[in-house]
Amino acid sequence: MDQEKVFCLVKHEKSENGRDFYQMGNVQLESAANKDKPVVVISIAGKCREGKSFLMSLILRYLKCKEKWLEDTDTPLRGFPWKMSCESETSGINIWSELFPITLPTGEEMFTDYGKLCLQCQEKPFQKLLLLVRDWKYPHEYQYGIEGGKKYLDRHIQTSGEEKNSSIQEFLQSCFLETSCYLMPHPGTIVTTDRNFDGSQLSDMENDFTTQLKDLVQRLISPENVITKKIADQTVTLETFMEYCRIFVTTCNEQDNNLFPEHGIVQVHLEVRYGKAVEEAYNWYRDELNQPKHETISKKKLKLYREEAINKFREKKISPETDIKYKEYLHHLEKAWYEELTWASHILVLKRAVPGIIKPKGTGGIVFE
**27 and 114, same domain (yes or no):** yes
pLDDT, residue 216, reads: 92
Mean pLDDT for the chain?
Answer: 70
Per-residue model confidence (pLDDT) at position 355:
42
121 with 266, same domain: the answer is no
Number of domains in the chain: 2
Question: CA–CA separation, 118 vs 125, rounded Å?
Answer: 5
Name the β-bridge partners of 176: 126
Q: With a cut of 90, say whether residue 140 has pLDDT above it.
A: yes
Q: What is the phi/psi pair of residue 309, to 5°? A: -65, -40
Q: Could you tell me what percent of the chain has a pLDDT over 70?
A: 56
Nearest 5°: the CA angle 289, 295, 298 is 70
Work out the burial of residue 151: count CB atoms within 10 Å of its CB; fewer than 13 is exposed, 13-18 middle, 19 or more buried: middle
Task: Identify the pLDDT of residue 1.
Answer: 45
Are residues 208 and 281 both part of a single domain?
no
**Where residue 123 sits, what CATH number does that domain have?**
3.40.50.300
Question: Tens digit of pLDDT for each residue in 151-206?
Answer: 998 887 766 556 556 666 776 776 777 888 999 999 888 877 777 776 667 778 88
Assess contact for 91 and 200: CB atoms under 8 A: no
Residue-wise pLDDT for 14-25, tens only, equals: 877 777 788 887
Query: What domain range is 317 assigned to?
Result: 262-353
**Residues 293 and 171 both lie in one domain:** no
Question: Residue 256: inside a domain, yes or no?
Answer: no
> Does residue 192 sit within a domain?
yes
